[in-house]
Structure 1
Amino acid sequence: MSSSVFDPPHPSLRIQPVVVEPKPFREFKAHDTLSPTVLLNPSFENLNLGGESSTKGRRELVDLASEEVGGEDLEDWTNKEIEDVSVCCLSGGTGGNAICSTFSPMTTTFILPISDDGGSSSEILRCLGGPSIGDIRSRLIRLAPSPTSPSCPPALAAVTRLLSHRFPWDVDEKEAKDLWREVVEGTSELWDGIDGDKREVLHRFFVFFESELLQRAHKGFSFRNCSLGNVFLSSTQRFFLSLPAAIFLFSSITQTQGRSTVIPAILTNHTATIAAELANSQTILGQCNISHPVVAAPPPSAAEPEPPARPVTPSPPIRRRQHTPSFGYLRVEDGIESPSSSGQATPTNGGGSGSSQSSGGGKGGGGGAATKGGNLVFTRTRAAGGDSDEGEHEEEGGGLESRIQRIFYINYVGTEIYPLASPEYLNALESKEVLVYSCGSLWTSIVPCLALQGVGSAIAESNTLRAKVLLLNSENDRETKSYTALDYIDAIVRTLNRYDTPPPLLPQTQTQPHTFAPSAPHLTPSSFAPPPSPKFLPTDVITHLVYLVDGRVEVDVSAIEALGIKVVAVEREGASEQDRKGKKKKGARFDAENVRRGLGRVIKGLGRS
């Protein structure tokens, strides 16, 4: 059996996880009038909420929130400008891209998940496997100089246009393949303006991608809706066997502006798949099926013959991982593996044609993704109302049938695993001054960056993080229907407490069976004990909440401040009262200027603490 790239010749060369001593439990005394919503919330039920006088409780909370978290005196921050601050930003695709220009003047590390299995990435995952690179590619393109900017050199603008180009989805397969052939042969007009070394590098990796596809010609790769940026990034990752190396090359060619770096949350060369466990015990497999499930494509027109159907691979069963005494806990390099490289059947975590069969679904459909020749074209769904982002189609619809209890990672055989966070990710948490939980999809963009070993401890025990800021979504989506700000806080705190270290194993005689709906993938009985009492308090991982006053998510300021979290309200600049009321109805959203003003108030507030 051939060895994996994650199997070094000697055990001493393996990267060992950092062992962090458990943090001493601190009694948490809250205000007498703390909202019943918080008291009943599962993540706060073990926080030992006290019942002392309101004055004493509030004073202790303020003292807790204003503790010095590092060696530098906070008074030094009084005159600190936002450009002088170093930031670690956890985000996903669409929501984070809308505000990423805020961080261009700062020293910023963007942490992105690699679990997206939709769009152009779905077809790459189906045929080639590997980590999902769609969100990373879109962030790198956003950080590159705009091709329409007068200050952008023509040659650089041509490179960015090429890597931003996406083939149309509303063409037949032959036409899409002809467009790809022109790119590979160097005759496409997309090459205009690109000369010299950059053209050679780009062309070589497109040819390499073509050779990889030819080795798997039986899978019938579809170029409809194909992103050339995804092709280049996936090709370089496969060539170097390193996603960070691929990101470096992409950044170098596009000359990523500012002082920004992009880091994957998990360091792996294999496919990372997430699943959602709902409160009604159903399980949904794959990010697409959680956030925008696949729906049937509209019937082809008379002018376009119906393409032959691809065989659908049955969804593999999901099961809780069993204890393996001789190997201990499986690591990400042991569990997240691309079955495409080993000749096994492709699981439905890769999206494509099979993704539509892998959903545990929910009655709250509304929106989804239509399969267009293997790639997925999304219809994002709001819980109710709101404006559409440019280039997206949104529909009114409901949320999931039941609330999400947790997000967890599985490997290609359906076993739950506990991946380690990327070392660069943990280093960023230990060296940056401000942590930002970006706006975006809570459960499929932010939580996959948090449900990793070591992240909770790194955030709570960092000696450099001065502020841990949650940018509250201005409206809910399919994943967060009817959520309040307290629910967002609860999800983050609960996730960090649950996955910071692997849970202890139960004896086999104590495993508890689970009940699942017939439509949901079957899970075997769990071998793990319930999560222990939380060791991270809300203020350990979130110090500030920034929200838009025009937003549609309920914010109970008094209850949040009773937890020790400072609340910062931001109004849209220049908006009249009438505009604000109208936007309240439609659903306001964060933009770069709103985020900049909100973070500026947080930073100035640190100097006055």
Structure 2
Amino acid sequence: MTHPQSQITTNHATRKSSFGSVFVESPTIVSADQIRLHDPTTEILSNGDLKGKSKAKDLSYLIISGGTGANSIASAFGNSPAFVLPVSDDGGSSSEILRCFGGPSIGDIRSRLIRLIPLVDNPTSKDDIERLAIYNLLAYRFPSSSSEKVVRELWHEIVEGRSDLWDGIGEDKKECIRAFLVHFQTLCLKRAHKRFSFRNFSLGNGFLTGARDLFGSLPSAIFLFKSIAGVNSGVQVIPVINTNQTVTIAAQLLNSTVLVGQCNISHPTTPITQGSSTSTMSTSNVPSAAITPIPAKANIPVNIRNHFRRDSRTFDTPETAFTSPRNTYIETFGQINEGSEGWSKSNPINNNNESGGNLGYRKGEEETPLESKIERVFYINLYGQEIYPEPNSEFIESLNQRDILVYSCGSLWTSIIPCLSLRNLSNHISSSKSLKAKVLLLNSSNDRETPNYNASEYLITIFKMLNHFNQSQLINLNQQYNQSNFNNNEIKISNLISHIVYLEGSKIQIDKEIISNFGIKLIQVSRDVHKFNFDQGQIPLFTPESVEWAMEKVLEDP
């Protein structure tokens, strides 16, 4: 029988593929046309032509985004952008790392770092071939449909240096990368009772986790990743909160229901029936779960919603739905020791069905509406209490050094707001002397988190969450939306957002009068620029070209 790993091609000029493997990050391939397109001496005119000098490419950008929404447009922001990313994602392969080891989530950061590795078409030089090989290695994701035994063998081949994925990587960088994968293996052995699952595991996540644990610093791990992968030294990838602890968000709905964890807010797993003490929780989709009896339903407040996160647990919780009265809110009212020892033994479940858990989740699949709109998103500690973290100092420094602040497209409440719901951040944004514009790239359609939102609701949400620590800044949103309501405050909404960029054909209603009253300028990217085919029912999406065009328009009308 041919081993899955042996089927990886050794052609260094292309991305490698493997039986059942998944490359979720697409590289930034630089072709001759793209070099011309992204050259700072060119710009995109309204008819799509390239002409003249691009002033926008000469500016420095600070982009607030999640791990997915801005990946496809990362190349639009010049050679040295700064990306601010949340560390609260508890889904996908990050969920298993959080379950076993705790710490901040690094999935979004890894995704952006992979995207920023500079690749070229048909690499011929040694450096270009090695960079592509490093990309192939760190972007590699283990198959989620294979058994645990198979993927563990793949992991051992890689960590022992026997895998074809190492082909093309120099011995110096190979041993450097391998050292941190070995350290990750050591972490797995120390927590052997956790039975870490390598199904759907991202090697980039393993490398970053090993480096973060060894250095005791996530920024240091990011620096190492950039250095080894050849990412431009001027590019910054900034975790919004600098911490080595698990970071968890919660959402309060308008009906007072509280949802805990990003997965529960954006894509909860199917609720598990709470029955008698003899009922059991299905584990067919849980790679490292034990079949555990569920006690009788506890008395919980009507406004508290317990979701069962299975693979996406941020906290180290047992597999029971309710194990004690303290498991009635945020899975535990008392102390929750994430990533620590002490819970019951677990046996790995080798099952090819990945539905129902967050380990194999693909963003955008099977979204079900929330029962009520989200009122706010906030951070909580391990005791379930709201906390008020301060932004990373690198984030604040960038606000005072960069030319353009961009609120990227993406999931509003779980990707963008966690980067904004921080202490005193609105003051830093509004008082920045360097920022020439603060631009919102408006989504083209709403999702589960933003049902029936119009453009002004995106603005109001950002304004509210930036100012939620300063209640004197907030006003009664039930009042008529007009300029005086929002702009009679110390910080005006136009101090935080100066422009909205939206795509023609967007499904989100643009309420121009309200936005105009806020003192915010609208820029429409026409069909001639974004070139999406509406005859085929496509929803227009931002591209590097359309974003560059929009930034030029922002500079023309500051």
Could you state the TM-score of these two structures normalised by the residue count of structure 1? 0.68
1:274–1:344 CA distance, 2 compared to 1 (3 A): farther
Letter matched to residue 428 of structure 2: A
Q: How many angstroms does 1:580 deviate by?
A: 5.4
1:256–1:274 CA distance, 2 compared to 1 (3 A): same
Letter matched to residue 539 of structure 2: G
Distance 2:472 2:521 in 1: 31
1:480–1:454 CA distance, 2 compared to 1 (3 A): same
Distance 2:218 2:336 in 1: 15
Equivalent pair of 1:273/1:409 in contact (CA under 8 Å): yes
In structure 2, stretches of 5+ residues that fail to align are 1-51, 273-281, 293-317, 474-487
Q: How many angstroms does 1:236 deviate by?
A: 0.3
Distance 1:306 1:425 in 2: 37
Aligned match for 2:550, one of 578, 598, 604: 598
Q: How many angstroms does 1:556 deviate by?
A: 1.4
Structure 2 partner of 1:586: 538
Structure 2 partner of 1:130: 103
Please identify which structure carries the higher helix content: 1
Superposed CA deviations along residues 530-551 of structure 1, whole A, max 9, x for unmatched, are xxx9542210100000000111
Letter matched to residue 582 of structure 1: D
Structure 2 partner of 1:200: 175
Structure 2 partner of 1:211: 186
Structure 1 partner of 2:375: 405
1:338–1:238 CA distance, 2 compared to 1 (3 A): farther
Equivalent pair of 1:89/1:109 in contact (CA under 8 Å): yes
Count how many residue pairs are aligned between Structure 1 and Structure 2: 444
Distance 1:254 1:489 in 2: 37
Distance 1:411 1:158 in 2: 40
Structure 1 partner of 2:482: none
After the TM superposition, list the runs of 4 or more consecutive aligned residues in structure 1 that deviate by more than 6 angstroms: 296-301
Q: How many angstroms does 1:97 deviate by?
A: 0.6
Distance 2:533 2:556 in 1: 26
1:312–1:575 CA distance, 2 compared to 1 (3 A): closer
Superposed CA deviations along residues 555-601 of structure 1, whole A, max 9, x for unmatched, are 0122211210000000244677xx65436x43211111111111111
1:162–1:79 CA distance, 2 compared to 1 (3 A): closer
Equivalent pair of 1:129/1:339 in contact (CA under 8 Å): no
Letter matched to residue 603 of structure 1: L
Secondary structure (helix, strand or coil) at the match of 2:505 reads coil
Equivalent pair of 2:79/2:232 in contact (CA under 8 Å): no
Structure 1 partner of 2:148: 173
1:307–1:470 CA distance, 2 compared to 1 (3 A): closer
Equivalent pair of 1:243/1:268 in contact (CA under 8 Å): yes
Equivalent pair of 1:85/1:107 in contact (CA under 8 Å): no
Equivalent pair of 2:530/2:540 in contact (CA under 8 Å): no
Q: How many angstroms does 1:177 deviate by?
A: 0.8
Distance 1:502 1:204 in 2: 52
Following superposition of structure 1 onto structure 2, how do residues 103-142 of structure 1 map, counting pairs within 5 Å?
103=77, 105-142=78-115
Superposed CA deviations along residues 237-295 of structure 1, whole A, max 9, x for unmatched, are 01000000000000001111473210000010011000000001001110011111123
Q: How many angstroms does 1:485 deviate by?
A: 0.2
Equivalent pair of 2:95/2:359 in contact (CA under 8 Å): yes
In structure 1, stretches of 5+ residues that fail to align are 1-77, 323-334, 347-351, 354-368, 382-393, 504-532
Q: How many angstroms does 1:94 deviate by?
A: 1.1
Structure 1 partner of 2:355: 370
Aligned match for 1:493, one of 446, 454, 463: 463
Distance 1:574 1:419 in 2: 40
Aligned match for 1:94, one of 68, 72, 79: 68
Equivalent pair of 2:71/2:112 in contact (CA under 8 Å): yes
Superposed CA deviations along residues 170-202 of structure 1, whole A, max 9, x for unmatched, are 011111111111111111111111222111111
Equivalent pair of 2:86/2:415 in contact (CA under 8 Å): yes
Secondary structure (helix, strand or coil) at the match of 2:500 reads strand
Distance 1:473 1:455 in 2: 23
Distance 2:217 2:98 in 1: 16
Distance 1:254 1:306 in 2: 32
Q: How many angstroms does 1:80 deviate by?
A: 7.2
Residue 312 in 1 paired to residue 306 in 2? no
Equivalent pair of 1:318/1:413 in contact (CA under 8 Å): no
1:136–1:379 CA distance, 2 compared to 1 (3 A): closer
Equivalent pair of 1:155/1:194 in contact (CA under 8 Å): yes
Structure 2 partner of 1:75: none
Distance 2:123 2:527 in 1: 28
Which structure would you say has the larger RCO, counting Cα contacts within 8 Å and 6 or more residues apart?
1
Distance 2:259 2:372 in 1: 11
Equivalent pair of 1:106/1:258 in contact (CA under 8 Å): no
Distance 1:294 1:462 in 2: 41
Superposed CA deviations along residues 331-370 of structure 1, whole A, max 9, x for unmatched, are xxxx9x9824554669xxxxx99xxxxxxxxxxxxxxx83
Comparing 130-139 with 563-572, greater Cα deviation is found at: 563-572
Structure 1 partner of 2:447: 477
Superposed CA deviations along residues 9-38 of structure 1, whole A, max 9, x for unmatched, are xxxxxxxxxxxxxxxxxxxxxxxxxxxxxx
Distance 2:415 2:122 in 1: 30
Q: How many angstroms does 1:153 deviate by?
A: 1.3
Equivalent pair of 2:376/2:465 in contact (CA under 8 Å): yes
Structure 2 partner of 1:553: 508
Distance 1:238 1:458 in 2: 31
1:171–1:108 CA distance, 2 compared to 1 (3 A): same
Distance 2:172 2:338 in 1: 32
Aligned match for 1:259, one of 234, 244, 257: 234
1:437–1:550 CA distance, 2 compared to 1 (3 A): same
Equivalent pair of 2:62/2:82 in contact (CA under 8 Å): yes
Superposed CA deviations along residues 416-446 of structure 1, whole A, max 9, x for unmatched, are 1000111010111111111000000000000
Q: How many angstroms does 1:155 deviate by?
A: 1.4
Secondary structure (helix, strand or coil) at the match of 1:99 reads helix
CA-atom RMSD, angstroms?
Answer: 3.2
Letter matched to residue 446 of structure 2: N
1:128–1:453 CA distance, 2 compared to 1 (3 A): same
1:345–1:339 CA distance, 2 compared to 1 (3 A): farther
Residue 539 in 1 paired to residue 494 in 2? yes
Equivalent pair of 1:318/1:415 in contact (CA under 8 Å): no
Letter matched to residue 403 of structure 1: K
Following superposition of structure 1 onto structure 2, how do residues 288-367 of structure 1 map, counting pairs within 5 Å?
288-295=263-270, 309=291, 311-312=318-319, 316-318=327-329, 339-340=337-338, 342-343=340-341
Aligned match for 1:143, one of 116, 124, 143: 116
Following superposition of structure 1 onto structure 2, how do residues 446-457 of structure 1 map, counting pairs within 5 Å?
446-457=416-427
Distance 1:537 1:261 in 2: 29
Distance 2:61 2:288 in 1: 50
Distance 2:60 2:398 in 1: 10
Secondary structure (helix, strand or coil) at the match of 1:180 reads helix
Distance 1:163 1:469 in 2: 32
Distance 1:464 1:280 in 2: 41
1:502–1:410 CA distance, 2 compared to 1 (3 A): farther
Secondary structure (helix, strand or coil) at the match of 2:259 reads strand
Task: Indicate the percent of aligned positions where both proteins have the same amino acid.
Answer: 45
Secondary structure (helix, strand or coil) at the match of 2:355 reads strand
